C-alpha cells in the first residue's frame, strides 16, 4: 500500500556452481520527497512525501495493454487493504515482460584471423513495471533484470505539471528582478520549479547475510625521479586503486560526485578462485542533491536526500526513509536520525539506501502533458562470477517482422 512493488529474494543462477545465488533480500521505493520552490503564501507548504502521505501502492493504476506494456507482457493484479479494513483489488497493476530493443550484450570482431571472425550476443532482459499516479504526476517504475546478473532500476516521470495562475501572458511583462518561482509555460500559467528525490531501500545479501560497504578511490601517483637509476618506463604518472571499507554508518554517507569512484557491497567471507572479494557495484544515476539548507524545516523532514548513499545495519523497524508517520512530521524519526547512532556496518547484515534525484525546471514542452523523463541506477556484479556468466548464451532465432507502411 505504501511503497508499491517490492522485489524479494532476487537471485541469479550460476551455471558454473549449478545453483541460485542471492543478490538482494528485498528492494523497494522507501520514500519520495517532492519540495516545490515557491515561497508565496499559497505554495510555500507544498513539500510532499508521496509514499508516506498518499501511498505509492494505493495510487497505482491499471496498466493499459499494448500501451503501458508491450504485447508480450503478462499482467498481475494487486491486492491491498482499504482504510476500513476491507480487501480491494487493482487489476493489471503490474506487468512482466521480456525486452529486446536491439541492444548488444557482448561482441567482438577478430580482424587478424582469416575470415574476420565476429561474435555478437543480443541483450534480452526481464522487466517488472508499475505506474503510480500521485495527484498530477505519473511515476513509471521499472525493475529490469539482465542475464549478466545486473539489476537496473528506472524511474520515469510524466503526467501534468503543477501550475499556478499568473497575470502575465509574456515574459517581457515581468519586472526586473521579480521572482516567478517557475517558468511561464503558457499564457497566464506558471510551471513551478521543484525536485523529486526517490529513495530506494536495498537490503542486499551478496551471497550471504554478512556484507561490507567498500568505497574505491582512484588516485594519481607520480613516479619519483631516482637519480642514477635507469627508469623502467618513461612514464611520469599513473593511477592506482585505494579501497576504503566503511566501518560505521558515518563512513558510508556519500554525495555522488564527491570523489568516490566506485561504491561496492562485498561479501568479505567469500572470494573468487583468484582471491577477490565477491560483490555488487552500485552504478549511480546523475549526481543530484538537495539545494535547500539542512536546517530548513521541510529539508529536515526529507533529510534522507542530504546524501545519495547511506548504509545501515539491518533493523526490521527501519523501513521508511522518511519515518513511520510522515503526515505533519518534524523529521525526528527518519534515516538521518537513525544514522546518528553511528552503528558498526562492517561484515554485517546491511541495508543500502540510494536516492535518485531530479531537479525540475519546467519548460514549455512540459505543458500541458509532460513527455517522459527518466533516471536510473544499476546494481552490477563485481567479481561475483568466476568469468563472463553469459559467454554461452545462444543468439536469438531469426524472426521475420511484418513490414509496416504509413496509411494514406
Q: Which three cell numbers stand for residue 98?
A: 521480456
For the residues 11-19, what does the mean pLDDT come to? 93
For the residues 264-290, what does the mean pLDDT come to? 96
Distance CA 71, CA 157 (A): 22
Residue 117: count other Cβ atoms within 10 Å of its Cβ.
11
3-class DSSP assignment, residue 53: helix
Domain membership of residue 261 as a residue range: 6-382
Q: Tens of pLDDT along 202-226?
A: 999 999 999 999 999 999 988 877 6
Asked if residue 187 belongs to a domain, the reply is: yes
Contacts of residue 19, defined as CB under 8 A and 6 or more positions apart, other chains included, come to: 13
Contacts of residue 121, defined as CB under 8 A and 6 or more positions apart, other chains included, come to: 104, 105, 106, 107, 390, 393, 395
pLDDT higher at 260 or 110: 110
Q: How many independent structural domains does the chain possess?
A: 1
Residue with cell string 607520480 = 222
Whole-number pLDDT of residue 298: 93
3-class DSSP assignment, residue 320: coil
Q: Which three cell numbers stand for residue 274?
A: 583468484
Asked if residue 321 belongs to a domain, the reply is: yes
Distance CA 236, CA 281 (A): 31
Residues 25, 28, 137, 280: which is the catalytic one? 137
- C-alpha 311 chain-centroid distance: 15
Contacts of residue 327, defined as CB under 8 A and 6 or more positions apart, other chains included, come to: 52, 53
Residue 229 has pLDDT above 60, yes or no: no
Whole-number pLDDT of residue 176: 85
Q: Which residues pair with 370 in a beta bridge?
A: 159
Asked if residue 102 belongs to a domain, the reply is: yes
Distance CA 188, CA 164 (A): 8
What are residue 173's phi and psi, to 5 degrees? -80, -15
Whole-number pLDDT of residue 117: 82
Whole-number pLDDT of residue 408: 54
E-assigned strand segments in 135-236: 137-146, 151-160, 163-165, 182-186, 189-192, 194-204, 212-222
pLDDT class for 406, splitting at 50, 70, 90? Answer: low
For the residues 279-302, what does the mean pLDDT come to? 95
Whole-number pLDDT of residue 268: 97
Residues 28, 36, 38, 50: which is the catalytic one? 50
Asked if residue 162 belongs to a domain, the reply is: yes
Asked if residue 388 belongs to a domain, the reply is: no
Question: Cα separations (Å) of 130 from 72, 139, 152?
Answer: 16, 8, 15
Examine the residue annotation and report whether 137 is marked as an active-site residue of this protein: yes
Contacts of residue 138, defined as CB under 8 A and 6 or more positions apart, other chains included, come to: 61, 131, 132, 157, 158, 159
Asked if residue 94 belongs to a domain, the reply is: yes
Please give the model's pTM, rounded to 2 decimal places.
Answer: 0.93
Asked if residue 407 belongs to a domain, the reply is: no
Q: What percent of the chain has pLDDT over 70?
A: 96
Q: What is the mean pLDDT of the chain?
A: 93
Q: Are 279 and 265 in contact (CB under 8 A)?
A: yes
Asked if residue 400 belongs to a domain, the reply is: no
Q: Are 56 and 3 in contact (CB under 8 A)?
A: yes
Domain CATH code at residue 220? 2.70.98.20
Q: Tens of pLDDT along 357-372?
A: 999 999 999 999 999 9
Whole-number pLDDT of residue 52: 94
DSSP class of residue 305 equals: G
Nearest to 129 by CA among 138, 117, 114, 140: 140
Residue with cell string 510532499 = 48
> Residue 18: which region, alpha, beta or left (left: phi > 0; alpha: psi -120 to 50)?
left
Whole-number pLDDT of residue 402: 60
Contacts of residue 398, defined as CB under 8 A and 6 or more positions apart, other chains included, come to: none
Amino acid at each position: 500500500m505504501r511503497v508499491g512493488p517490492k522485489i524479494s529474494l532476487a537471485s541469479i543462477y550460476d551455471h558454473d556452481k549449478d545453483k541460485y545465488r542471492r543478490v538482494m533480500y528485498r528492494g523497494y521505493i522507501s520514500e519520495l520527497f517532492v519540495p516545490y520552490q515557491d515561497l508565496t503564501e499559497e505554495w510555500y507548504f507544498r513539500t510532499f512525501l508521496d509514499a508516506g502521505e498518499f501511498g505509492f501502492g494505493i495510487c497505482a493504476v491499471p496498466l493499459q495493454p499494448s500501451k503501458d506494456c508491450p504485447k508480450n507482457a503478462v499482467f498481475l493484479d494487486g491486492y491491498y487493504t482499504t482504510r476500513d479494513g476491507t480487501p480491494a483489488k487493482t487489476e493489471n497493476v503490474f506487468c512482466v515482460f521480456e525486452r529486446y530493443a536491439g541492444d548488444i550484450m557482448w561482441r567482438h570482431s577478430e580482424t587478424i584471423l582469416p575470415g574476420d571472425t565476429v561474435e555478437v550476443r543480443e541483450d534480452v532482459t526481464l522487466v517488472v513495471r508499475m505506474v503510480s499516479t500521485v495527484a498530477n504526476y505519473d511515476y513509471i517504475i521499472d525493475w529490469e533484470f539482465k542475464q549478466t546478473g545486473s539489476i537496473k532500476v528506472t524511474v520515469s516521470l510524466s503526467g501534468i505539471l503543477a501550475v499556478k495562475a499568473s497575470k502575465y501572458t509574456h515574459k517581457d511583462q515581468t519586472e526586473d528582478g521579480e521572482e516567478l518561482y517557475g517558468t511561464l509555460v503558457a499564457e497566464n500559467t506558471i510551471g513551478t520549479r521543484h525536485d523529486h528525490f526517490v529513495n530506494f531501500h536495498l537490503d542486499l545479501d551478496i551471497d550471504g547475510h554478512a556484507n561490507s560497504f567498500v568505497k574505491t578511490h582512484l588516485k594519481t601517483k607520480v613516479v619519483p625521479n631516482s637519480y642514477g637509476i635507469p627508469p623502467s618506463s618513461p612514464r611520469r604518472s599513473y593511477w592506482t586503486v585505494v579501497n576504503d571499507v566503511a566501518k560505521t554508518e558515518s563512513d558510508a554517507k556519500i554525495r555522488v560526485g564527491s570523489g568516490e569512484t566506485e561504491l561496492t557491497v562485498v561479501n568479505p567471507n567469500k572470494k573468487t578462485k583468484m582471491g577477490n572479494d565477491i560483490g555488487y557495484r552500485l552504478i549511480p544515476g546523475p549526481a543530484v542533491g538537495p539545494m535547500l539548507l539542512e536546517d530548513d524545516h521541510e529539508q529536515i523532514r526529507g533529510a534522507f536526500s542530504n546524501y545519495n548513499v547511506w548504509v545501515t545495519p539491518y533493523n526490521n523497524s527501519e523501513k521508511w526513509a522518511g519515518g513511520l508517520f510522515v503526515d505533519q512530521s518534524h523529521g525526528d524519526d527518519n534515516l538521518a536520525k537513525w544514522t546518528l547512532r553511528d552503528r558498526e556496518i562492517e561484515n554485517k547484515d546491511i541495508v543500502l539506501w540510494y536516492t535518485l534525484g531530479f531537479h525540475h525546471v519546467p519548460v514549455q514542452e512540459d505543458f500541458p502533458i509532460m513527455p517522459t523523463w527518466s533516471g536510473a541506477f544499476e546494481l552490477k556484479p563485481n567479481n561475483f562470477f568466476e568469468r563472463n556468466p553469459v559467454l554461452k548464451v545462444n543468439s536469438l532465432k531469426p524472426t521475420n517482422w511484418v513490414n509496416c507502411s504509413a496509411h494514406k
